[in-house]
Amino acid sequence: MLKVEIDPGSGFCGGVIRAITRAESYLAGEDRLYSLGAIVHNEAELSRLKQKGLVTAGSLEEVPRGGTVLIRAHGEPPATYKEASLRQLKLIDCSCPVVLQLQKSIREAYARLHSEGRHGQVIIFGRVGHAEVLGLVGQVDGDAVVVENARMLEEVMASLDFSQPMEIFSQTTKSPTEYEEICKLLRSRGARLTVHNTICAQVASRHEKLSAFAAAHDVILFVSGKSSSNGKVLSDLCRGANPRTYLVGSAAELDPSWFREGESVGVCGATSTPKWLLEQVAEAVSALK
For residue 259, the enclosing domain spans 3-11+201-286
**Averaged pLDDT, 136-154:** 96
pLDDT of 101-139, one tens digit each? 999 999 999 999 999 888 999 999 999 999 999 999 999
Instruction: Compute the 3-state secondary structure of the chain and give helix, strand, coil in percent, each to the nearest 5.
Output: 45, 20, 35
Give the integer Cα–Cα distance in Å for 123 and 75.
18
- Checking if the pLDDT of 204 tops 90, the result is no
In terms of domains, do 92 and 162 share one?
Answer: no
Does 289 have pLDDT greater than 80? no
Tens of pLDDT, residue by residue over 251-288, are: 999 999 999 999 999 999 998 999 999 999 999 999 98
Same-domain check for residues 20 and 35: yes
Question: Last residue of a domain, which of 75, 97, 119?
Answer: 97
Asked if 153 and 76 sit in the same domain, the reply is no
Domain final residue pick, 47, 63, 97: 97
Q: Give the E-state strand segments of the chain in sequence order.
A: 3-6, 33-36, 54-57, 68-71, 90-93, 121-125, 145-147, 166-170, 193-195, 219-223, 245-248, 264-269
- State the burial class of residue 76 (Cβ atoms within 10 Å of its Cβ: 0-12, 13-18, 19+): buried
185 & 234 share domain: no
Please check whether residues 183 and 218 belong to one and the same domain. no
Residues recognised as catalytic: 132
- The mean pLDDT of the chain is 95
- pLDDT at position 206, please? 86
Q: Of 36, 39, 76, 82, which is closest to residue 60 (Cα–Cα)? A: 36
Same domain, 176 and 205: no
Same domain for 173 and 239: no
Looking up residue 241, the CATH number of its domain turns out to be: 3.40.1010.20
Last residue of a domain, one of 43, 76, 97: 97
Residues 185 and 241 in one domain: no
Q: What is the pLDDT of residues 47-105, one digit of tens each?
A: 999 999 999 999 999 999 999 999 999 999 999 999 999 999 999 999 999 999 999 99
189 and 206 both lie in a single domain: no
Residue 34 sits in a domain whose CATH number is 3.40.50.11270
pLDDT at position 285? 96
* 7 shares its domain with 19: no
Do 220 and 151 share a domain, yes or no?
no
Q: Supply the pLDDT for residue 116.
A: 81
pTM of the model: 0.88
* Res. 229 pLDDT band, cuts 50 70 90: confident
Domain count, the chain: 3
Asked if 141 and 213 sit in the same domain, the reply is no
pLDDT in tens, 1-34: 899 999 999 999 899 999 999 999 999 999 999 9
Residue 54: per-residue pLDDT: 98
More confident residue, 250 or 208: 250
